[in-house]
Structure 1
Amino acid sequence: MHLELPKMRLHSLKDFTKHYLMIVLSILTALGLEAWIERSHHAHAAATASRQIRLEIETNLSDVRTSIKANQTLIAPLRELDEAVSQDIRAGATAAVVNEHIRARRASFKLSINWPTFASQAWDVAVANQSASWMDDGDLRRYSTAYADLRDASNWLTHDSIILLNAPGMAALRARIDLDAPVDPLEFVTVLRQMINTSQEIQSHLQQLEGHLVHALAQDEAGAAHG
């Protein structure tokens, strides 16, 4: 901040008082203007960051919904295979007959999961340049919660999603089926249902995440309406 003070001779206390008040007023005006400019800059940065974050959350939500829809299609053959083999076992079919039906549906015996890659660049930038700190507290709380949910979901997929799946057993059965070697029907159904349960658990996490993201965006819309 720079002030250019007027050059003039002071002939009386009244002149001095006027000159002093003019200096104080100039300083206060300059400080107020500087604070207003800084607040305007922060408000603009926060609004820009908020729009970018919202678009990023909407993109993540769209990807989550795409994965949910894809997984509904991917899990259907596993359920149909389980129903067919289970019906054979309940009906007392021989292992040879069950194996014949398994081989006929061998293409269905695979675990396929669609999981989106979550974007967080807009949030990371807002945190890095501190524009997030100038956002409305309610917006900031919703956004931070949404990105925490995205991180938690990704961490769960990496570390815990297949904890109940016997991957070596699944691979062994896949090899035997591909080689037309007989498999134990009960062992097959056990591994098959592990695959189904794993798919359903992943689908459940995606659906929960969808709800969290929808809630964050809905709250944002409500706040905008009240504003």
Structure 2
Amino acid sequence: MHFEVPKVKLHSLREFAQHYLMIVLSILTALGLEQWIESVHHRHAAEYASARIEAELGDTLRDIQKAIDVDQEHLKPLIAVDKAIIDDVRSGKSDADINQHIRQLNDQVKLGINWPAFSTEAWDVAVANQSASWIDVERLHRFAAAYAAQRDAASWTAHNMTLALDAPRMVDLHTRIGLGKDVDPIEFLTVLQQMINTSNETVGYLEQTSLPIKAALAKQGQ
């Protein structure tokens, strides 16, 4: 069997090379354009997610500060009442006289501790749709630390804080005092101390929780 190599003119080879090069360039251009479009999409998604996260963290930070302000305001009369009744006990006043004093000061005793609601919707969405993975690494780490601090604080609220408070006992004493009934002064002081100590711990915990949130919201270079 005989094969004869076809003869191709030089200008045909040149045309083929040009045509081939155009195809290669078209493919490379298309791939580059696709990568550019994907990069732009990722950048916009990251910017949108970051803006929503920062807005959410900003709201949380404001709520934290409001809770701190209210708790600290409620602490002032609690501390004043605690000191007044301790002075009565130490001075040897009778339980009847101390109870009369407690009833006079009862309106200053505010039961309850303010605590912000920690929102995580923006962060959860960014993680779910993977836009979080396109955020700048350093910025992402700051966001993650802020939300981790919120989770720790929420866990502390649900468990540790409730262990330090005997809420039914507080309500019982508050109700009896409001009805003009006598209470044990030492029991009253014990409940009051629980409230004061837990409020102080709560304020301190909220202040610590706010630090990584402030860091997450700080502009780079500041």
| Fold-level similarity (TM above 0.5) | yes
Q: Show the counterpart of 1:110.
A: 110
Matches within 5 A, 1:30-179: 30-179=30-179
Amino acid at match of 1:87: D
**Deviation (angstroms), 1:11:** 6.6
Distance apart, 1:109 and its partner CA:
3.1
Q: Deviations over 1:181-227 (max 9, x none)?
A: 22221121111101111111111111111222112222xx125x7xx
**Partner secondary structure for residue 12 of structure 1:** helix
Identity of aligned residues (%): 51
SS in structure 2 of the partner of residue 69 of structure 1: helix
Which residue of the partner structure matches residue 205 of structure 2? 205
Bigger Rg, structure 1 or 2: 2
Query: What residue in structure 1 maps to residue 220 of structure 2?
Result: 222
Distance in 1 separating the partners of 2:168 and 2:116:
26
Specify the alignment match of 2:22 in structure 1. 22
Query: In structure 2, how many angstroms separate the alpha carbons of the residues matched to 1:74 and 1:162?
Result: 18
CA deviations over 1:48-74 (Å, ceiling 9, x no partner):
211221121111111111111111111
Aligned AA (1:94): S
CA distance in 1, matches of 2:174, 2:63: 31
Counterpart AA for 2:84: A
Cα-Cα RMSD: 1.8
Number of aligned pairs?
213
- TM-score, structure 2 length as denominator? 0.89
Amino acid aligned to 1:30:
A
CA contact (8 A) 2:142 2:212 kept: no
Larger deviation, residues 141-150 vs 115-124: 115-124
Q: Distance in 2 between matches of 1:76 and 1:24?
A: 77
Aligned residue number for residue 5 of structure 2: none
Contiguous gaps of at least 5 residues in structure 1: 1-9
Question: After TM superposition, which residue ranges in structure 1, 4 or more long, deviate above 6 angstroms?
Answer: none
What letter corresponds to residue 31 of structure 1 in structure 2?
A: L
1:174 CA displacement: 2.1
Deviation at 1:175, TM superposition (A): 3.1
Instruction: Work out whether residues 162 and 198 of structure 1, in 8 Å CA contact, stay in contact via their aligned partners in 2.
Output: no
Shift of residue 41, structure 1, vs aligned partner: 1.0
AA aligned to 1:37 is I
Distance 2:56 2:171 in 1: 38
- 8 Å contact from structure 1 (residues 98, 185) kept in 2: yes
